[in-house]
Each structure stands twice: as structure tokens, then as C-alpha cells.
């Protein structure tokens, strides 16, 4: 990539045409060429980490989510310190370098809970804390009457290292109003990320597709990410993954509508995205996001075989080994995968497996 | 190298074994997919097929005990099972419940009521049972046929046919004729594994040889029974073993034209005696594509979703496959070895997968005649 990215950049309009008309194999080949140019070593990386979901209590109650509970629900929880510490110990014992701490928007937690938790972890462990997606950051800011930047600065001083790209879903308020009306709007998600990048905190960006969005919404999303990245350069990776309908309100709504055989004009649930749709979006992401170096394959939603194929459709990273994962699992989708499985899957796909840290520094080859 | 192969394929010429090796070695999955798609389009237009079918395994008791198999048991061993013919009839009768016809579920009914189940084909394969005589199988087929006259019975791999012939003292040809007379409609392609002797001896020393498998199939084709052909890959074979296997299938097909579909089967490692992992999704797609390009005399290439997963099976439609099998309803063999899929798909799901791959979905019968086109 000797030329400036803008020179080869495809426009929104071109992306829309590709989305609609391009042959998937041609799109894949193009994405594969770009991936090879960015990562000529044929290495596929992964991070050893664990998702720690400190609470499932959430006031947002998004329709596509099967994880949230009300505080009064019998299976609502808030993890105590010792449980969190034990999970971190186990992660380190397994060679982990990062924990992903995310949870619901719990109405009785304030910023002191987070400060104390971050400090307590950092006092005890040498581990990267990748935590609190933009909806959580905004909720902490709002309940503490702080700005986003103030909130992030405080959390950073307390020990927060980087921020996961969750909660982006589709960065189109048309879609958000239907799927997750209580969740922060697109502009706030972007604002949190921009503020984080401004404080030298690196973040990822995600996209959850395959629910009710149109191709145009997807391109709007990609474009918002690309524009912000032009300004900050703070995104380490882009992670597209597909809506998993099991146990969600969105699926129920869709089925109710099907049962009534009603032609819904404002709301239509598709069947879950299939393999060809996943690869199309993945390849298009690789082509469109010329300023983001890494694209993750989502074995958590696609399975290992598809993740292997994804490595030829634009992806160069297998994401996390996910010693623990709860959110996707609550939809009933759960691929039982160990670190060894991930290493051999990468190798079988023709790539060199390497463990990385949060910032994509290579730590160890296998 | 790919360029010269590409020229051959686009000119409709047959590729050599050496070409097939090059295709397997190639890293360019996109060109492979495009070439295979070209061949598939010439043979089947924009269509991709599925079938409403049901699998039944009469028994898992098997005298062979192949090392790659997690399904088989010895007689008396824990987990061994055998279905009576009545059990099988009852299982087939379960299909009527979905149609909502009448109260009974077939279990209590003793009258030879004609039932139309929600599927057009039953696929029957099982272990080599030490005690059941040929007559048992003839009765099995004729009873099912009597009870469900419209149901197509696709049953018994070449390995089972060879065994029936041995235990009955009848020739393979007479055995097949008897089965056909009882109502056997066609045969599946299982038991082929890898034909090469060295590999076969490591995998399944008790099983009939590759040559014998081909001989049984040739006989079946001669007596008018169409069959499929499979290849179990991803265990201890290398790509030259795969090409040799494909080549032997192609030669036989040149003589008989009796094979309907080629079905590559991805090896599943769990609970078996052969070490190793799952095949890679990339290898699965390549194997489909090379199969499509090399087997120019086969009409159909099937991506068997039970083994590949529905995601890779759907993608296989862009790599030369034109068939993703069917509803299946109950699957035991691959699931014994750690299948990552469910056991059934409803027709609507199959249609959705096919359509989203950009193909026209066709529900087929057992001979690839159109039952219904989905627009």
C-alpha cells in the first residue's frame, strides 16, 4: 500500500453496486488480494482472552439480544469481585493476555463501581483490560453527570486499556429505532470511539448484520467507520458478525408476524444471514475499509469451517479464543472450540497461526 | 498450469489425473470455483436440487468395525440397536402427523393403510448384521413398498450388497435382482471410502476392496439400479489417493452411466480410531470443485450438508455442487462421529439456502426429476 488509501478508495455508490451485483467469488478474490497486500506473511492471528460479563441486568433490552435480564429476574446476576478475580487467574494460567469485560447497563452501578473494579484488577494482575463498549461508557457518563471524555479519562486512569467495538450493531438510526430504541444512537457510539482514540485508547469496531437492515444501512455503517478512522486511526480491527435469532424478542416478533401473514411495511425480520451473505459483507468490508488493517473472522457466529473460508474472503484474524463466552451462547449458538482447535483450524486453512496481544503485536507462533 | 486446465474446461475437454492433482494443489480457490461453476451451469443450468427424504438405519451392529466409524457396535455391546421391520414402518409413518391426517400415528394401526409421508425417498443403510439373512432385507423392502407404494426406497451400500450375497450364497447380480423385485429403487454411494489399497488397509481392513466396490456398482448399473458414489476424504489419504479414487469412478461411469451423483464426504474425527481433525472449509470447497471439474460424466455433485454443515454446503453451490441433499429428519452415522450440524432441515430452510446462493431451488425426486420449482 504505497499509494494513499484515498486513491484506490471505492465510493459509497460503488460499494452499493458491488453489494447488489458483484459475483461473490469475484468479490472474495478482490478482498483476498487486499488482505494479502496488507498481510503478506500469511499469518493468521488470534488473542487468548476471556469474556467476563459482570452483569446481565440491562435497561436497554434490545430486541436482538437473548442475554439481558431485569434486576428482579431470578437468573439476573452481578458477579462478585472474587469470581471476577478467579476468572482472570484462570485466563492468565491459560496464557491469556486480555480480558474483555462487558455487561448490561445495570441501574444500580455508578462510576465508582467501575473505578474500584479496574483498580482492583490492575493491583492484582498484569493483563490488558479491554472493556466497556460505548453504550456502557455513555451510561456511566450519564448517571455520573460527566462528559464522555471525562468518563473515559477517569476509567483510563483507573486501569482501562482499550475499548471493544460492541454496541455498534448497525450505525443507522433508522435501524436502531426499531432494534434497540433505548440504546445510544449512532452519533454517540462514534463520539465515544473518537474520544477514546483522542485519549490514545485503541478500540475495535463491530457490525451486527442480518436482521432488518438493508444493504444501504450496511454501507452507511462502513462509511461512518471509515470516516472516523480517517480522522483518528484508532481502530485496530473491524469485526462483522451476524445476528443470531435464538431466544430473542426480534425472532419472536418475526414469527408472530409470519403467523399473522401480515405484510409488515416498517419491520421485517429476515432469516438469519446465511454463509454467502456473511462472506459478501466480510469481503465488502475488507474492500471498503482501506484504512483499517485487521478484519476478524467470527468463528463464534459462523463456526470454524466458515472462519477458515473467511480467511480467503478478507479476514486475517480469528479474534479471541473465548475461554468464556455468554452473550452469543444465550441465543443457543455455541461452537465448542479450544485454543488448540483454533490453531489447527488456522493451519489447515493454509496460514501460520500466531498469538497476538490487544494491539496486534505478535507474541508467539505455533 | 491453471491457465491450460482452464482452457480445457472451457472447451469442454476432459482433464487428466495430473490436471486434477494441480487443481488440488492450487491455492486459487476463486478460479477453481469459477471453473466448477461453469461446468455445473452447463449440466444443470441455474438449478440446485434438494429432496424431501428420511434416513433410517435398521441396525448399527456390524461385523466390519471400520476404524473411522463411530456408529457401529458389536452384537451385545452397549449402545447396539436393531430395528424390527415394524419399527421401521412406524418411523416412516411418523411423517403423516405433520400432514395432520387422522388421529393415529401409525404405531397402533395394523391395517395396511396407505400413507403419504412428508417425504418422497427413504434412505436405508446399516451395519453388516451377523444374523439377519437376505430374506430379512427382502421382506424389509417389500413391506415398506407395500405400505408406502409411492415412496422411493434408496437402500444398501455396495458393502451391504456384497455381504448379502455372501450370506445367501447368491451371486451379487441375483441378490440385486431379488432386491429390485422387492421394491429397491436405487442405491446410495456409501462404503467407497478411498479405493487405494494402502489407505483402505489402514482405514477398514475388513471392508471389501475398492475393486469389489466398483464391481458391485457395475453389476447394479447393469441390472438397472442407479446408484451414487462417495469418497471419504480428510483422514490419512493424500491428494493422489483422491485423484486415483475419482479416476476409477470416472472410468466406471464411462462404461455404465449408472452413477447419478458424486458425494464427497468430509471425515469426522470424534469417537473413531483414526486420529486427526476436521477437514478445513477450504478443503471441502476445493474437493467439491475438483470433483465437479474432473467427473465430467457425472450429472450431479452433492454437497451433503450433514457432513459439511449447512453453511459450507450452501457455499459449495458456488463451487460446482448442484444438490444439497435433503430434509433427512434423523441422522445417526455422522452424528456418532461428532457432526456439528443438526439432524434435520425443513424444506423451507433448504430453499432459502439455495436461493440466497443465487440458484433456482428445485425439489427433486430420486432420479432428479422435478417435483416442484420454487420461484
Q: Who contacts B4 (Cβ-Cβ below 8 Å, separation ≥6)?
A: none
Best A258, A309, A341, A351 member to test B by mutation, with max B CBs in 10 Å, is A309
Do residue B352 and residue A271 have CB atoms under 8 angstroms apart?
Answer: yes
Nearest CA in chain B to A335: B340
- pLDDT of res. A46: 97
CB A307 within 8 A of CB A297: yes
B370 membership: H or E segment, kind and range: strand B370-374
Q: Which residues of A touch B280 (CB under 8 A)?
A: 305, 308, 345, 348-350
Which residue from B279, B280, B353 is facing A274, i.e. has the nearest CB?
B353
Q: Enumerate residues 170 to 229 of chain B having a beta carbon within 8 A of any beta carbon in chain A.
A: none
Which residue from B280, B353, B356 is facing A305, i.e. has the nearest CB?
B280
Query: For chain A, which domains are there?
Result: 5-353 (3.20.20.70)
Give the residue ranges of chain B where pLDDT is below 70. Answer: 95-117
Chain A positions with Cβ closer than 8 Å to B: 24-26, 28-29, 32, 271, 274-279, 302-309, 311-312, 335, 341, 344-345, 348-350
- pLDDT of res. B103: 41
Do residue B282 and residue A312 have CB atoms under 8 angstroms apart?
Answer: yes
- pLDDT of res. A266: 44
Sorted by where each begins, the domain ranges of chain B are: 20-369
**What is the DSSP code string of B203-226?**
H-TTSPPHHHHHHHHHHHHHTT-E
What would the grid cell of residue B123 be?
434412505
Do residue B278 and residue A279 have CB atoms under 8 angstroms apart?
Answer: no
Distance of residue B211 Cα from the nearest chain A Cα, in angstroms: 31
- pLDDT of res. B78: 93
Distance of residue B126 Cα from the nearest chain A Cα, in angstroms: 29
What would the grid cell of residue B6 be?
482452464
For residue A251, which of A265, A266, A271 has the smallest C-alpha distance? A271
Residue A13 CB: number of other CB atoms within 10 A? 9
Nearest CA in chain A to B25: A350
The percent helix, strand, coil of chain B (3-state, each to 5) is 45, 15, 40
Burial class (CB in 10 A: 0-12, 13-18, 19+), A3: exposed
- In three-state form (DSSP H/G/I as H, E/B as E, the rest C), the secondary structure along A285-348 is HHHHCCCCCEEECCHHHHCHHHHHHHCCCCCCEEEECCCCCCCCHHHCCCCCCCHHHHHHHHHH
- Residue B103 contacts A, CB cutoff 8 Å: no
- Residue B312 contacts A, CB cutoff 8 Å: yes
Give me the average pLDDT of each 10-residue run along chain A (366 residues): 62 96 96 98 96 94 90 95 95 94 94 97 97 96 96 98 94 92 94 98 96 94 98 98 84 73 47 91 98 96 95 97 81 78 95 97 96
Burial class (CB in 10 A: 0-12, 13-18, 19+), A364: exposed
- pLDDT of res. B105: 43
Distance of residue B203 Cα from the nearest chain A Cα, in angstroms: 21
Give per-residue pLDDT as tens, B255-292. Answer: 999 999 999 999 988 877 777 788 999 999 999 999 99
Q: Left, alpha or beta for A77 (phi > 0: left; psi -120 to 50: alpha)?
A: beta
- pLDDT of res. A7: 67
- pLDDT of res. B50: 95
Give me the CATH topology for the region B20-369: TIM Barrel (3.20.20)
What would the grid cell of residue B138 be?
427382502
What is the spatial distance between Cα B373 and Cα B318, in angstroms, rounded to a whole number? 19
Distance of residue A319 Cα from the nearest chain B Cα, in angstroms: 18
- pLDDT of res. B233: 96
Q: Report the alpha-carbon angle B356-B360-B366, nearest 5.
A: 115
For residue B303, which of B285, B290, B280, B279 has the smallest C-alpha distance? B285
CB A303 within 8 A of CB A335: yes
Amino acid at each position: 500500500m504505497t499509494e494513499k488509501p484515498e486513491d484506490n478508495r471505492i465510493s459509497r455508490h460503488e460499494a452499493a453496486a458491488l453489494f447488489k451485483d458483484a459475483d461473490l467469488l469475484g468479490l472474495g478474490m478482490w478482498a483476498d488480494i487486499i488482505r494479502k497486500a496488507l498481510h503478506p506473511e500469511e499469518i493468521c492471528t488470534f488473542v487468548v482472552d476471556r469474556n467476563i460479563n459482570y452483569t446481565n441486568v440491562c435497561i436497554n433490552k434490545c430486541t436482538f439480544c437473548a442475554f439481558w435480564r431485569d434486576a428482579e429476574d431470578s437468573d439476573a446476576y452481578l458477579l462478585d469481585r472474587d469470581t471476577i478475580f478467579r476468572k482472570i487467574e484462570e485466563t492468565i494460567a491459560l496464557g491469556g493476555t486480555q480480558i474483555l469485560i462487558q455487561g448490561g447497563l445495570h441501574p444500580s452501578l455508578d462510576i465508582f463501581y467501575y473505578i474500584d473494579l479496574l483498580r482492583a484488577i490492575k493491583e492484582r494482575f498484569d493483563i490488558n483490560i479491554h472493556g466497556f463498549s460505548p453504550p456502557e461508557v455513555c451510561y456511566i457518563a450519564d448517571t455520573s453527570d460527566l462528559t464522555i471524555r471525562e468518563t473515559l479519562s477517569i476509567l483510563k486512569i483507573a486501569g482501562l486499556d482499550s475499548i471493544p467495538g460492541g454496541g455498534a450493531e448497525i450505525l443507522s438510526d433508522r435501524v436502531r429505532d426499531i432494534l434497540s430504541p433505548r440504546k445510544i444512537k449512532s452519533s454517540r457510539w462514534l463520539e465515544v470511539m473518537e474520544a477514546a482514540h483522542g485519549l490514545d485508547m485503541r478500540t475495535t469496531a463491530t457490525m451486527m448484520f442480518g436482521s432488518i437492515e438493508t444493504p444501504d444501512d450496511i454501507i452507511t455503517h462502513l462509511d461512518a467507520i471509515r470516516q472516523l478512522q480517517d480522522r483518528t486511526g484508532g481502530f485496530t480491527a473491524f469485526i462483522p458478525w451476524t445476528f443470531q435469532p435464538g431466544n430473542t424478542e426480534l425472532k419472536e416478533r418475526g414469527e408472530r408476524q409470519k403467523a399473522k401473514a401480515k405484510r409488515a411495511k416498517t419491520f421485517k425480520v429476515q432469516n438469519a444471514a446465511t454463509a454467502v451473505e456473511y462472506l459478501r459483507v466480510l469481503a465488502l468490508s475488507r474492500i471498503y475499509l482501506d484504512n483499517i488493517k485487521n478484519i476478524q473472522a467470527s468463528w463464534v457466529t459462523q463456526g470454524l469451517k466458515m472462519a477458515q473460508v473467511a480467511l480467503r474472503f478478507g479476514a486475517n484474524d480469528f479474534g479471541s479464543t473465548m475461554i468464556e463466552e455468554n452473550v452469543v451462547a444465550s441465543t443457543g449458538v455455541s461452537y465448542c472450540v479450544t485454543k488448540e482447535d483454533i490453531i489447527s483450524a488456522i493451519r489447515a486453512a493454509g496460514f501460520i497461526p500466531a498469538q497476538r496481544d490487544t494491539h496486534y503485536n505478535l507474541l508467539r507462533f505455533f | 498450469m491453471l491457465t491450460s486446465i482452464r482452457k480445457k474446461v472451457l472447451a469442454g475437454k476432459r482433464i487428466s489425473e495430473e490436471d486434477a492433482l494441480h487443481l488440488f494443489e492450487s491455492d486459487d480457490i476463486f478460479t477453481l470455483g469459477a471453473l466448477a461453476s461453469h461446468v455445473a451451469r452447463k449440466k444443470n443450468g441455474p438449478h440446485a436440487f434438494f429432496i424431501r427424504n428420511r434416513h433410517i438405519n435398521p441396525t448399527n451392529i456390524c461385523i466390519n468395525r471400520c476404524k473411522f466409524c463411530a456408529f457401529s457396535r458389536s452384537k451385545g455391546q452397549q449402545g447396539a440397536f436393531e430395528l424390527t421391520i415394524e419399527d421401521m414402518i412406524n418411523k416412516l409413518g411418523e411423517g403423516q402427523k405433520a400432514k395432520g391426517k387422522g388421529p393415529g400415528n401409525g404405531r397402533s394401526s395394523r391395517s395396511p393403510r396407505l400413507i403419504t409421508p412428508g417425504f418422497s425417498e427413504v434412505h436405508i443403510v446399516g451395519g453388516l448384521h451377523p444374523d439377519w439373512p437376505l430374506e430379512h432385507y427382502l421382506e424389509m423392502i417389500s413391506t415398506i413398498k407395500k405400505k408406502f407404494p409411492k415412496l422411493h426406497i434408496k437402500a444398501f451400500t455396495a458393502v451391504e450388497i456384497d455381504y448379502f450375497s455372501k450370506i445367501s450364497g447368491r451371486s451379487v447380480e441375483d441378490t440385486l435382482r431379488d432386491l429390485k423385485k422387492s421394491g429397491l429403487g436405487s442405491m446410495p454411494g456409501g462404503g467407497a471410502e478411498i479405493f487405494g489399497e494402502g489407505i483402505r488397509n489402514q482405514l477398514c481392513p475388513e471392508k471389501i476392496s475398492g475393486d469389489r466396490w466398483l464391481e458391485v456398482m457395475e453389476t447394479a448399473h447393469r441390472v438397472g439400479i442407479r446408484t451414487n458414489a462417495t469418497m471419504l476424504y480428510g483422514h490419512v489419504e493424500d491428494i493422489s489417493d483422491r485423484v486415483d479414487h475419482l479416476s476409477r469412478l470416472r472410468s466406471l461411469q464411462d462404461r455404465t452411466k449408472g452413477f447419478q451423483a458424486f458425494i464427497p464426504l468430509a471425515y469426522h474425527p470424534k469417537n473413531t480410531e483414526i486420529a486427526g481433525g476436521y477437514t478445513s472449509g477450504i478443503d471441502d470447497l476445493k474437493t467439491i470443485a475438483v470433483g465437479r471439474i474432473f467427473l465430467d460424466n457425472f450429472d450431479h455433485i452433492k454437497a451433503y450438508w450433514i457432513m459439511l454443515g449447512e453453511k459450507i454446503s450452501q457455499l459449495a453451490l458456488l463451487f460446482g455442487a448442484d444438490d444439497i441433499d435433503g430434509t433427512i429428519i434423523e441422522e445417526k452415522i455422522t452424528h456418532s462421529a461428532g457432526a456439528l450440524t443438526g439432524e434435520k432441515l425443513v424444506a423451507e430452510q433448504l430453499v432459502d439456502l439455495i436461493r440466497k446462493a443465487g440458484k433456482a431451488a428445485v425439489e427433486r425426486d430420486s432420479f432428479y426429476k422435478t417435483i416442484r420449482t420454487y420461484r
